[in-house]
Amino acid sequence: MHSLLTCSSIISSSPPFLLLQSHTPKLTHFPQLNHITPQNSQHLKLTHFLKPHANPKPPLFYFNLHLQLYINAGFMQEARDLFDSMPERTLISWTILMSGYAKHGPSTEALALFKEMLSTGDNHKTRLRPDSYVYAVVLRSCGEMRELGFGKGVHGQVLKKGEAFLDGFLENSLVNMYSSCGQLEDAVLIFDGIEKPGLVAWSSMLSAYVKNGFEKEGLSVFLDMVSKGIKLDAFVFSMVIKACSNLEELNLGIQVHGLMVKKGFGKGSCLFLDNSLMDFYAKCKDLKGLRKVFDQLHEKDLVSWNTLIMGYVHNFYYFEALRNFRVLMHDICYCDDFTITSILKAISSLHDMGYGRQVHGYIVRTGLASNSYVMCSLLDMYIECIEHESWEQWEKVPLKVYAGLERGEANECIIIASMLKWCSLLSNLDAGKVFHSLANKLAVDSDPYVISALIDMYSKCGVPEAALRVFERVENPGTVTWSALISGLSWNGWFVEALTCFNKMQLNGIEANEFTLTSVILACVALGDLRKGRELHCKILKTCYESNVSIVNMLINLYSELSDHQQALKLCSLVSDAEISWNLLIQASLKANDYEMIHKLLGRIQSCFGYLEPISVCDIFRSCSSPVLLNMGMQAQAYMTKRGLLSHPTSGNGLIQMYSGCGQIAEADLVFESMPEKSSPCWTSIISAKVEHGHPSEALTLFNKMRRRNKLVDSSTLKSILKACSQMGRVDEARSLLMSMEVVYGVKPSEEHYSCVIEAFTRAGMLEELENFINEVVVDKNDTKIWNTVLSSARVIGNMDMAKFALEKLLEIDPNDCFANLMLGKVLVMFGKWKDASKMKTLGPNSSCIEVQNKIFEFVSDQKPSEEVLHKLGEIEREMEELGYVEDRNHLLHDAEEEEYDGAGLGHTEMKAIAFGLLSLPHRTPVRVIKSVRMCGTCHHACKFMSTFVDRELVVKDNCTFHHFRDGKCSCQDSW
């Protein structure tokens, strides 16, 4: 090394004039000197080459040479000292030092040196005149510092020298300077003025677009380069890949990758380019592509490992990130601050305090504790993990970390902000006040992040008044500060004040960010202000947040909660299926009774493997709770089983409800028995299913088991038990349970509970007791539910007097009740009051539905069915008559909701649907029909008879209960 640095060896290598043949002061003619590094240049001291050799006074050539050596090694202070000690300086001396500052920084020194150079010389003749390379170096520094004014001044000097002075190198520097300063129009103007732009000019223009956020325009420039046959280099490909990465254009990026391989830049030939490719695949969520590029690298540097680990963390593959971090530490045995901050993010997300403490130990051992970003990430890790650990064991850890850091740099704003976040999570107001005082003491209380953290801390500690006081002392608050205040007000339920602050923020011209908008949308949801929410939606559409995942999901929540689920569904097109909040959409569709939409959503969830909460799984099953949707429910069950989503009790509860609603009580029972953990709602659901399907004794047995297991009995459970007592005629038991339920179970009786006891009295024929019960116990005697129950029970036992009494009460409450009008008309006819009966109103058409091969067919009362169905009905009528069927006409009160029909009673809608099912469904497959109104007595009697010879189960669900017809019997026991 020393021999290379002697004057004699240099003189013998090349003559001095070779250094002056190019504007660029690189030592291209001394290849051995171009490999000088900071490690082997420790021997390069000023005394090494200023010692006198043959000449007592070193010539200028040696000064410039060793000045360049210092620049190549990155020793800017030594280079400046040598420059200041030079007895004479030429343009080359100034250029070498300026280019060094432009390359290594600080760029301000390059500009200051340029000014100093222009002021040297006593007169016009001795003053140095910058050449195009000097101007190019200065323009580069202007771009780095975004010094647009200085850059324009340099541009002006260049223009004064004439067009002949303006070479390609200088034109490229001008394009780069204007683009770096955000002046794209000027950059384009310079570029268009270049007669034959080369690779550097095209690259500068491409870089200008990409760096300023105009990726699509940059890609257009790239396509022009390809079409014009411009030779592409690694820098061009890196900028194109960055554009594809920013746009998340995976398909286009893959095509560019293919072109790179074709041009010879693939499979580890350029490490810098391969690292850019890895970053592209990570941001486009193509982890297979990321891994493939990484595995093909012949040489992996720390940047490669960091890109891989950050890619996994960015895509929430935290375990994979930790696995690769272990491999990195095993193979390379070291990492940097970028690695540590990424891996701490993964640990925070996994809440792995133990692994976090190991990384903490590594930070201390390697001296990274002096890095404020690393320490902030470490603090955040402890804060996030503490939230999921025992407070007593870990709550002082962040304080210890801070105390250790305080001995180094205690005045870091970001550290104070992290500690305030810790106080927010703990709701520790006293500790928060201590750090507030410390912020004042260290004079960092005016830092935007500290102010935001203070506002957040006081808000999370339940003191929004203090948060407002902190905010009011801020001069010219920015987006972050406004956002913290609005979020804090919403957190404390001050929704009106949050909207008011948002309006003030808009009037002050402050741009809202993602957190501001989500907080304001939350306020609109809480206030039920759909109009304000729509206004906010319009503002969002005018910004760059219309496709932001968090904001779109909040808007979906807004429209879902405020009964506009169709608008919520339209928003799904703005984000990918994997990022949609499916749970919100399912709840909104269920709320709107749009079951068909829920089934469509399930199809999309299956295709993207969308996330589902147990309550959403339950909602999906509930949307299939109809005899005509049994197949859909079974498909949903198969999918949920495949994904392992049925282990939660809430999901199992939904499955019980689905099978019960479909009339499959045996399957509901099987689901309940197979559940490893039976929650209270599951017990309630199976008890309700037993009652609804005509098994009251089994329901009472399950209720006793439920109490022995100390499960929570709620209002729904007691309603089912009261109904079971009614079906079994246990009047005293029902009345006793009603009177004691508030004391024993803490449930206050509602009108539904009263109705069940009323039904028990009526079915038992205890009319006097019923009247006394209504007068003495029932609070609201004008509730239609009470009198509908009396009427229903009167229909069951055929008591015309009680039916007339109940109907008159119903018409007193609601004179426009069509059903009550029709029923009273029929009763009046029975009493011979034809004139009064003619004044009663009539009902509209009704319908029945059946599902065949995943299609639902509806039969409406005022529509004629197909010839095949009519032929099948005639065939059934003839067979019934041959078997001795006699129509039972003693069903006046049961027939009130159907149209009149002459014949064997097979003309009503459920009979048409059953006939269609017999035609369309395989032999012995149960026929399941859902009817919009109560099944009439004539059809009920006919279905019982049909079940003796059709060799299959007939299931009809009307608006009262399920009817399972088997072997001439019905599960309702003729009481419906």
pLDDT in tens, 932-976: 888 888 888 889 999 999 888 999 988 778 889 988 888 887 777
And the tokens for 298? 């012949």
Instruction: Kindly state the DSSP code that residue 779 receives in the 8-state scheme.
Output: S
- The pLDDT-based confidence of 240 (bands split at 50, 70, 90) is very high
Which residues sit opposite 852 in a β-bridge? Answer: 855
The amino acid sitting at 843 is L
Res 269: pLDDT: 72
* Residue 378 predicted with pLDDT over 70: yes
Judge residue 450's burial from the number of C-beta atoms within 10 Å of its C-beta, 0-12 exposed, 13-18 middle, 19 or more buried.
buried
Query: Domain for residue 516, yes or no?
Result: no
3-class SS of residue 829? helix
- The pLDDT-based confidence of 727 (bands split at 50, 70, 90) is confident
| Contact between 582 and 611 (Cβ < 8 Å) | yes
- The pLDDT-based confidence of 713 (bands split at 50, 70, 90) is very high
Query: Taking Cα atoms as reference points, which of 9, 75, 10 lies closest to residue 46?
Result: 75
Give CA torsion, residues 463, 468, 474, 475, to 10 deg.
Answer: 180
The H helix count followed by the E strand count for the chain is: 52, 6
What are the tens digits of pLDDT across the range 109-124? Answer: 888 888 888 887 665 5
- 182 and 67 in a common domain: no
Q: How many CB atoms lie within 10 A of CB 804?
A: 18
- 225 and 321 in a common domain: no
What are the tens digits of pLDDT across the range 393-442? Answer: 445 555 555 554 454 444 467 777 777 877 887 788 888 888 888 788 77
pLDDT more than 70, % of the chain: 84
- 67 and 167 in a common domain: no
- 209 and 175 in a common domain: no
* Segment 224-251 mean pLDDT: 89
Query: Domain for residue 42, yes or no?
Result: yes
| Contact between 947 and 963 (Cβ < 8 Å) | no
Query: Domain for residue 894, yes or no?
Result: yes
Query: Domain for residue 76, yes or no?
Result: yes
Which residues sit opposite 930 in a β-bridge? Answer: 849, 957
* Segment 592-598 mean pLDDT: 85
- The pLDDT-based confidence of 863 (bands split at 50, 70, 90) is confident
What are the tens digits of pLDDT across the range 37-91? Answer: 444 444 444 444 444 444 455 577 778 888 888 888 888 888 888 888 888 888 8
Res 196: pLDDT: 80
Query: Domain for residue 426, yes or no?
Result: yes
And the tokens for 382? 């402890």
* Segment 865-869 mean pLDDT: 88
- 116 and 38 in a common domain: no
Buried b (16+ CB within 10 A) or exposed e, 169-195: ebbbbbbbbbbbbebbebbbebbeebe
What is the separation of C-alpha 106 from the centre of its chain, rounded to a whole number of angstroms? 43
Query: Taking Cα atoms as reference points, which of 522, 592, 587, 531 lies closest to residue 558?
Result: 522
Higher pLDDT, residue 771 or 7: 771
And the tokens for 537? 């939606």
Q: How many CB atoms lie within 10 A of CB 711?
A: 18
The amino acid sitting at 640 is M
Res 511: pLDDT: 86
Continuous H helices in 765-866: 767-776, 784-797, 800-813, 818-830, 834-838
- The pLDDT-based confidence of 31 (bands split at 50, 70, 90) is very low
Number of compact structural domains in the chain: 6
- 966 and 901 in a common domain: yes
Domain boundary among 357, 388, 419: 388
Res 412: pLDDT: 61
- 304 and 293 in a common domain: no
* Residue 721 predicted with pLDDT over 80: yes
Least confident interval from 8-17, 524-533, 705-714, 849-858: 8-17
| Contact between 244 and 252 (Cβ < 8 Å) | yes
Query: Taking Cα atoms as reference points, which of 146, 66, 131 lies closest to residue 95?
Result: 131
* Residue 501 predicted with pLDDT over 70: yes
Phi-psi region of 865 (alpha: psi -120 to 50; beta: other; left: phi over 0): beta
* Segment 518-542 mean pLDDT: 89
Least confident interval from 20-24, 135-139, 464-468: 20-24
- 191 and 208 in a common domain: no
How many alpha carbons lie under 13 Å from residue 722 in its C-beta half-sphere? 28
- 288 and 219 in a common domain: yes
- The pLDDT-based confidence of 560 (bands split at 50, 70, 90) is confident
- 363 and 312 in a common domain: yes
Rounded to 5 degrees, φ, ψ at 148 are -65, -40
Q: How many CB atoms lie within 10 A of CB 686?
A: 28
Cα separations (Å) of 335 from 329, 341, 373, 586?
7, 11, 15, 45
Res 327: pLDDT: 92
- 349 and 329 in a common domain: yes
| Contact between 584 and 576 (Cβ < 8 Å) | no
Domain boundary among 42, 59, 88: 88
Query: Domain for residue 788, yes or no?
Result: no
Domain boundary among 272, 298, 324: 298
Query: Taking Cα atoms as reference points, which of 781, 744, 740, 741 lies closest to residue 758?
Result: 781
And the tokens for 551? 């904001």
Res 50: pLDDT: 46
Euclidean distance between CA atoms 954 and 911, whole angstroms: 11
Res 24: pLDDT: 37
* Segment 840-868 mean pLDDT: 79
What is the separation of C-alpha 684 from the centre of its chain, rounded to a whole number of angstroms? 33
And the tokens for 531? 């109009």
Euclidean distance between CA atoms 351 and 450, whole angstroms: 25
And the tokens for 49? 């080459």
Res 486: pLDDT: 92
Query: Domain for residue 424, yes or no?
Result: yes
* Residue 918 predicted with pLDDT over 50: yes
Beta strand 969-970 pairing with 847-852: unpaired
Query: Domain for residue 747, yes or no?
Result: no
Res 668: pLDDT: 93
* Segment 720-739 mean pLDDT: 91
* Residue 688 predicted with pLDDT over 90: yes
Q: Which residues contact 761 (CB under 8 A, 6 or more apart)?
A: 731, 767, 769, 770, 773, 793
* Residue 20 predicted with pLDDT over 80: no
- 963 and 864 in a common domain: yes
* Segment 513-525 mean pLDDT: 90
Least confident interval from 533-542, 866-875, 899-908, 957-966: 899-908
Which structural domain, as residue segments, surrounds residue 370? 300-388
Judge residue 88's burial from the number of C-beta atoms within 10 Å of its C-beta, 0-12 exposed, 13-18 middle, 19 or more buried.
exposed
* Residue 892 predicted with pLDDT over 70: no
- The pLDDT-based confidence of 297 (bands split at 50, 70, 90) is confident
* Segment 477-486 mean pLDDT: 90
And the tokens for 795? 């229909």
